Each structure stands twice: as C-alpha cells, then as structure tokens.
A and B are shown apart, each in its own frame.
Chain A
C-alpha cells in the first residue's frame, strides 16, 4: 500500500505517494524526476546518491523515502541559481574535478554539507568529507584542489 510523503526538495514542497520500501534515492529520481542524483551500488558504499538531508550529507539509498517525511532535502539540481553556478560548481569546472561525472552530484553534496557547517575546513577534513564518495576517474586530488579553492575564497557567490 502506498503512503503519503511530504518533502521539501530544493525549497519546493512536494506531496507524493510511495511504497513503504521505496528508498529516498528512488523517490527523488523516479517520482520527482530529479535524476542528477545517481546510484552506483546497493550497499550504501559508493556515495553517488549523496544528498543533503536536514543539513547533513546522507546517502539517499541508505534511508527509506518515508523516513524523510517532513524533511528538507537538497540535491544537485538546487545548487545553481538559474544560470549562476555555485562557487563549488565553478571550481569543479576550473580544476577538472570530474570526468565521467557520475559521482559529481554526490561529491558536490558532500562538499556543500561540509562548507555549510565549517567555513575553513582543513585539507584532512575535506578528504574525510568525501571519503565516502568513490570517484573512479580523477584520483580525488583535483576535487580536493577545487574544494580548497572555494575554502580559500577564490570563488565568491555570484550576485
């Protein structure tokens, strides 16, 4: 039996009906069509599905959609403001912090959650923050450089 679920995603409230076993990642992707968030495994270990749930980076395949009832969810689709890219996005472009791009939504969610919490994380903290996100292409260091550049104030929010 499907159940009602209320979610606010990227500032937009939604009401939807999902099966009790539906995972949050599937609710986002299949019910809301927000396919920017990916899924790379069934064991909550690749990080491709990371979103920000009530301010925390969470693997959206690791919780049921109904567990997120009433929650505020942030996905990659909410990062840019219209045509204005978020500083993290611009840094990712400049530093080549993505290749195939399949892990990028999760990486950006982990990075944003960190920067929302800490203004000046250390390199070690940045590495820890994306340690749950596998990137098979870049070797991570370009991602670390991009996030560090944002931390160092090289990228300001576009007004």
Chain B
C-alpha cells in the first residue's frame, strides 16, 4: 500500500511537542481570573433517604461563596440513553435518596480548596438508612430492597440475542462444555482525574473546559440538566489525561462546577481527588457469566449459549450498551450455527458500572477464550486449530447482527503458529496460552437520539495553502488528532504540517459523537476524508480548466501538485491554484464539508478489527506467583494510518487487559470499596510489563478511510483468556474468576495435589 504519501508512515503526533515539553495545558492546569474552587459532598451510605440537608453553617464559613444541593437543580434525570427516558436515572446531585457510597449530595464553591473542603464538614445531612443490596444475584430476588422506584427485582436492562435453535443443536453435539466465570470490577485509573472548569457569564452563556471523550455529549447533557439551549453551552476539551471509557457521560465535577458557576457568575473549578475517582466515577462491569458450548467430533463449533448477570451498580450509565455488546462479542470470532445470549443488568447499591476500554468485550472473551481451550482439550484438538477452523472469514454475516467485510484472522493465525513453534519447548512451569477476538470500529446504535450525523468534519483552505481541519472528534491520548490530520493531508495531497486540527471546541467544529467504541478512525476519518475530498474537488475544477486536457482525465493532488491522474507530468502547483480559486470565488475561502453515518451495516458496527495473541507466563508452583514473560500479538486493523500510534494502542490495551486479568480488583465490604488509592489498587508497572512483540496483518476495509478500521480497544479482548489458558498450560490449573492472583493459583494447585493424593490412595 505504498501509494500513500502520508498514510502508513510513522509520524510524530501533532500534540507531541506540547506533551514532551510540559507545555500542554490540561483541564487540571487551567486557572481563570476570579476563579473559585469546588468540592463535592458524597454519601457515606450505600442506600438512604435524604431527610434534610442543612447548609447554614457551611455557607457562613469565611471564603465560601455558594453551597448547592439537589434542591438547587431542575431535578432532571440524566443519562446517555436519551432515547429511553426510563434509563436516564441519575440526578447527579441527589434530591431524595442516595444509592451508593459516593453519590453526590451537595457541592461547595470557595476561594480555595482548603476552605471548600472545610465547608463540606459543616454540611449536615440527615439520612434515614435503607436496607441495601450489593450482589446482583441477591438484588434480583423478589424481596430485595428496591433501588429505583418501579424497577421490579432491580432488573435495569435485559438483552437477548439469538439465532438458530441452540437446544436442538446441543442434542447433535459430540462434545459439550458448561462453565461459569466471573469478572471483577476494574478502575479506569486515568492519570488525570475527572475535572472541569465552568464559566457561566453574565451573557447567560456557559463555557466548560473538561477532560472528556465527547464534547458534544457533555454539551447536550449539561444543557438538558441546566435547562439551557445546547448552543449556549460551549464545551472545550483541552488535552485529556486519559479516559478509557470513563469520560463520556456527564460527571459530578462537570455538573456541579456548571451549577455553581451558574449561581455565582464566576468561574468554578472542580477536580476530583483520587479517592473520588475510585469510588464515585464509573467502572468496568463485574459479571457473573454462565456459558455452554457444543461441538462436533470433526472440530466444528456448533452451538453456544450464554447467560450473564451483571452488577450494574446504582445507575444505568453506558451499562445498557455494554450489556448488549457482551452478548454480541460472546459470539465472536466464531461461526456458530446457533447462538443464544441472555443478559441481565441489575441495579445494586454499588458504584455504577459502565464502559471500560473494550466495552463488555474483555469479560466475554475471558470466558469465551477459556472455554474454547477447555472443549479443545476434551476433543484432543490443538487450541489454535479449533480457532482457525471455526473463525469468521471475510464476507461472513453474523446472523441478523453484523456483516464482516475485511478479516485478517487467517494471517494472524499463521503468524501466531509460527511464533509458538519458534518458542520451542518451554522450561518447566511455563506455558503459552492464546486468545483471539474481533472488535467493532464504532457503534451503529443511536441511543443518544442525536439528529446529527455520527461524525462530521469541515476543511478550510486558506490563501497560503494551509488547511484548518474542524471536527468534534476527541483525542483522549489515543492519537485521533494525528490520525485525522493524516487522513486529511493524504486526501488533499498536502503535507501533515499543512494541517492544523481544531477538535477541541463543541461550538467551533461540527458535532461528533466522540471517542468510544473505537469509532474515531473509521467514522470521524470517513467524515474528514469526505470533507477533504469536497475541498479538493473545488481546487481540481480550477486546475482542470487551466490544464484543459483534450480528453477527460481524472485529477488528483499529491505533494502540493495538482495533476492529471494518468499523465502526472501535466501538473500545476497546489499553491497557485489555491490562490486563483479563492480569487475566482470572490475571495471566499475554500470550505469542504463531510459527514458519516453508517447505513445498512447491521446492528453493531460497520467494520471489525481482529487479532490473535499468544501470552507466555511462568508460575511459581510453591507460591502461585504469576509472571508474564512475553506477549506476541498479530493484529489486523486494516490499513495502518500511523504505525507508531497503532503499536502504542496494541501495547497499551494489552497492558490494561493484562492488569485486569492478573492484579486489578476492587474488593468491597457492604458497598464500600476497600482500596480507593493508587497505593492499594495494584496496576501493572514497568517491572511487571513483559516483552511485547506485535505484527500487523494488513487488510483493506472497504468501509474505512483508506481501508482503516479500529485499533483502540480490540486488544483488551484476548489477553485475559490467553493468560488463563497459559496458566493452565503451565501448571494445569484452570482459574475461572479474574483477577488470576497468586492466592487463587496457590489454592488451585493445592486442591489439585489433594485430589491427586486421594486418587493415589
């Protein structure tokens, strides 16, 4: 694919120089004149009625400017599933009831953070305790405490996905495996915690600087909560210190800062502290996962049945989407003759669960890739062979759900097979496990109920040939500003440094749904490509007239030359044509417009990234200590846009998945998270991170810009299952609940020894 001059070449990210010099200004760094600092009072109880909130003493404290409670709000219930009002269930500032430890009840603005903090202690909240329920299986019982009015048995959302007749198919299977798995919660742990600076002016208009994955969502949701018109709420996204799925819903920092600023007409800054970040933002959904698979003697996978009960926590958030996606991903990447998924998302008095990088996929693949190895062993089949034999292929239709155009799995299997062979015989207590996956390139669903296109872009060409690119896409560190600038430069035939991207401002760029579901490269990329093509056409029209070919030739632009596609030597300068075209258009700048909304692409996503991963581990049989040795990944993201960024996504997602699989956890006691600090919440650090080797198996995705598709989240999928499989291959114990801790391995090894001993007698 070397015909590209920008795409596929390793480049520095457009935000790179600012980030390596410390000059990038994050929300965390913003200070405005006359600014106040806000703090939020949160419920210490998992479930209670608010009888009264007395703020008199707090308001009297010198330096305190305002205290707000639920009574100061319009009482709007907020949620991203706007198409379904019953799923918009979060007031943010609770008016009558708190539903988890961390639910906000009041917010303070003061002249400094210390005074704001002190004021929180002076707010007197009178609660009446209610019985609480923490386990979704308990919460589903008839006599369980009701968390939201009118929601029977606390069942928040149910989803079914079904094709074929599973029951009939199981009867025809030679091998059947039934297992139960459990996935723990996981924290996003963005290095920059949630935060916002809100400035409500005397003109009645609000500006909010915030670390977000979707300026548009925050604009629309804030407008709804404050009773404002969307256009009067301007959301600016400075560089963001990480998001990973935690920053596209309206959060307490954004809402409370805006509400306080609206009252005071002064800028208010609220930055959540790390404890709040752990306890009072969303997290990855804990799941009880039941699965049954059936196969024929010849190795064909036939039927799969999955039942999932998730701990939803106190509110819906993005959990409804995650529940559906867990169901869909539970079928991938295999061609099941029949499949049935039943998912139940249950309200509990715990921190709300939502999206975390992978969006329901890591849990599905942990169970799915574990059970494939288990049934392969029953069938005496090689784990790689059973996957290869049953994997989806290009042009496969997942019945009634999705159509897969490009799929590079075949090349990925070859690469992993070669890698595993080359590793040769492993030392004792070492094992390699594999996992594979498919992942969406942006979601098709429109539960946000937006009338806008899913992505849109505008390209402005200035008189000197410099290009301003406007988009609502959100770079949260994953590199979308760079990828979109590269797509724009390639389509327009200019250089990357000709482009200046403006992706930070909801009121300047066109709306874009933002960075979730790995959608920016494909969806925003298509919009950018279309906008660039629109601008380009306006130039080539002039160039055509100038070159006046005697037969019709297509025209193109490359490297600042506009030329006849079949006779590249017949060319004119891009810079000259820009000047002439603008002059001829009565001095109007050239503006190209583009948009993208998927059409007729099934229920889930217009395109799918794929990959196969092999993880080598070493287990200490005495202590159960698990060490990751090496991770090999063969990856298909279609056409690579920026190889440096793709590698960064592969390695970063793998690390996050490995963390979830082997050390990250949030133990709790009666709804209280016991490790809400980085000192106690264990993550992978540089010494734990194994060697990583990654190769790209490039395909061409017809639906993607220049053939590109997702790369941001897919690699959170295979790692958990691959680690579990590797542990099994190393020491023969199967761990079915994450994280795979030394303690669990130790116990399992002990149990195995005892059983062996019994058999021996």
Name A38's contact: one of B241, B274, B645 (CB within 8 Å): B241
Structural contact, A140 and B22, CB atoms closer than 8 A? no
B475's nearest neighbour on chain A, judged by CB, is A100
Name B651's contact: one of A37, A44, A98, A141 (CB within 8 Å): A141
Structural contact, B687 and A128, CB atoms closer than 8 A? yes
Structural contact, B651 and A142, CB atoms closer than 8 A? yes
Structural contact, B677 and A38, CB atoms closer than 8 A? no
Structural contact, A96 and B644, CB atoms closer than 8 A? yes
Chain A residues whose C-beta falls within 8 Å of the C-beta of B683 in the assembled complex: 134, 136
How many positions in chain B have a CB within 8 Å of any CB in the partner chain? 55
Known: A38-B28, A104-B20. A140 touches B678 (CB 8 A): no
Q: Is residue B550 contacting chain A, with contact meaning CB distance below 8 A?
A: no
Q: Is residue A43 contacting chain B, with contact meaning CB distance below 8 A?
A: yes
- Complex-state Cα separation, A22 to B309, whole angstroms: 47
Q: Is residue A40 contacting chain B, with contact meaning CB distance below 8 A?
A: yes
User: Which one of A38, A138, A139 has the greatest number of beta carbons of chain B within 10 Å?
Assistant: A139
- Complex-state Cα separation, A136 to B653, whole angstroms: 9
Structural contact, B242 and A142, CB atoms closer than 8 A? no
Chain B residues whose C-beta falls within 8 Å of the C-beta of A77 in the assembled complex: 21-23
Structural contact, A137 and B678, CB atoms closer than 8 A? no
* 0 or 1 for each of A105-148: is its CB under 8 Å from B? (1 = yes): 10010000000000000000001101111111111111110000
Structural contact, A141 and B692, CB atoms closer than 8 A? yes
Known: A77-B22, A103-B191. A96 touches B241 (CB 8 A): no
Structural contact, A137 and B22, CB atoms closer than 8 A? no
B12's nearest neighbour on chain A, judged by CB, is A93
Q: Is residue A89 contacting chain B, with contact meaning CB distance below 8 A?
A: yes
- Complex-state Cα separation, A19 to B189, whole angstroms: 30
Q: Is residue B477 contacting chain A, with contact meaning CB distance below 8 A?
A: yes
Chain B residues whose C-beta falls within 8 Å of the C-beta of A79 in the assembled complex: 21-22
Q: Is residue B239 contacting chain A, with contact meaning CB distance below 8 A?
A: yes
CB contact list, B743-760 vs A, under 8 A? none
Chain B nearest Cβ from A115, distance in angstroms: 15
A126's nearest neighbour on chain B, judged by CB, is B686
- Complex-state Cα separation, A79 to B25, whole angstroms: 17
Structural contact, A138 and B242, CB atoms closer than 8 A? no
B478's nearest neighbour on chain A, judged by CB, is A99
Chain A residues whose C-beta falls within 8 Å of the C-beta of B273 in the assembled complex: 42
Chain A residues whose C-beta falls within 8 Å of the C-beta of B687 in the assembled complex: 127-128, 131
Q: Is residue A60 contacting chain B, with contact meaning CB distance below 8 A?
A: no
- Complex-state Cα separation, A103 to B244, whole angstroms: 15
CB contact list, A36-52 vs B, under 8 A? 36-46, 48
Chain B residues whose C-beta falls within 8 Å of the C-beta of A43 in the assembled complex: 274, 677-679
Structural contact, B685 and A101, CB atoms closer than 8 A? no
Chain B residues whose C-beta falls within 8 Å of the C-beta of A95 in the assembled complex: 644
Q: Is residue B53 contacting chain A, with contact meaning CB distance below 8 A?
A: no
How many positions in chain A have a CB within 8 Å of any CB in the partner chain? 53
User: Which one of A77, A98, A127 has the greatest number of beta carbons of chain B within 10 Å?
Assistant: A98
- Complex-state Cα separation, A78 to B709, whole angstroms: 39
Chain A nearest Cβ from B116, distance in angstroms: 15
Known: A40-B191, A127-B686, A138-B648. A89 touches B21 (CB 8 A): yes
CB contact list, B565-610 vs A, under 8 A? none
Chain B residues whose C-beta falls within 8 Å of the C-beta of A44 in the assembled complex: 679
A132's nearest neighbour on chain B, judged by CB, is B685
CB contact list, B88-106 vs A, under 8 A? none
Structural contact, A36 and B21, CB atoms closer than 8 A? yes
CB contact list, B632-677 vs A, under 8 A? 644-645, 647-648, 651-652, 654-656, 677
Chain A nearest Cβ from B110, distance in angstroms: 16
Name B191's contact: one of A35, A46, A127 (CB within 8 Å): A46
- Complex-state Cα separation, A35 to B23, whole angstroms: 8
Q: Is residue B19 contacting chain A, with contact meaning CB distance below 8 A?
A: yes
Q: Is residue B201 contacting chain A, with contact meaning CB distance below 8 A?
A: no
B677's nearest neighbour on chain A, judged by CB, is A43
Q: Is residue B691 contacting chain A, with contact meaning CB distance below 8 A?
A: yes
Chain B residues whose C-beta falls within 8 Å of the C-beta of A40 in the assembled complex: 191-193, 241, 274, 678
Chain A residues whose C-beta falls within 8 Å of the C-beta of B506 in the assembled complex: none
Chain A nearest Cβ from B32, distance in angstroms: 14
Q: Is residue A94 contacting chain B, with contact meaning CB distance below 8 A?
A: yes
Q: Is residue A9 contacting chain B, with contact meaning CB distance below 8 A?
A: no
- Complex-state Cα separation, A142 to B654, whole angstroms: 13
Chain A nearest Cβ from B575, distance in angstroms: 26
Structural contact, A80 and B21, CB atoms closer than 8 A? yes
- Complex-state Cα separation, A48 to B190, whole angstroms: 12
B691's nearest neighbour on chain A, judged by CB, is A141
* 0 or 1 for each of B400-439: is its CB under 8 Å from A? (1 = yes): 0000000000000000000000000000000000000000
Q: Which residues of B are interface residues toward A (Cβ below 8 A)?
A: 12-13, 15-26, 28-29, 188-193, 239-244, 273-275, 476-479, 644-645, 647-648, 651-652, 654-656, 677-679, 683-687, 689, 691-692
Given A85-B21, A140-B689, 18 more contacts at CB 8 Å? Answer: A35-B28, A35-B29, A42-B677, A43-B677, A45-B677, A79-B21, A79-B22, A92-B20, A93-B13, A96-B647, A98-B20, A100-B243, A101-B477, A104-B19, A136-B244, A137-B242, A139-B655, A141-B689
**A-B pairs with lowest CB-CB distance, top 5:** A36-B22, A100-B477, A102-B241, A101-B19, A76-B22
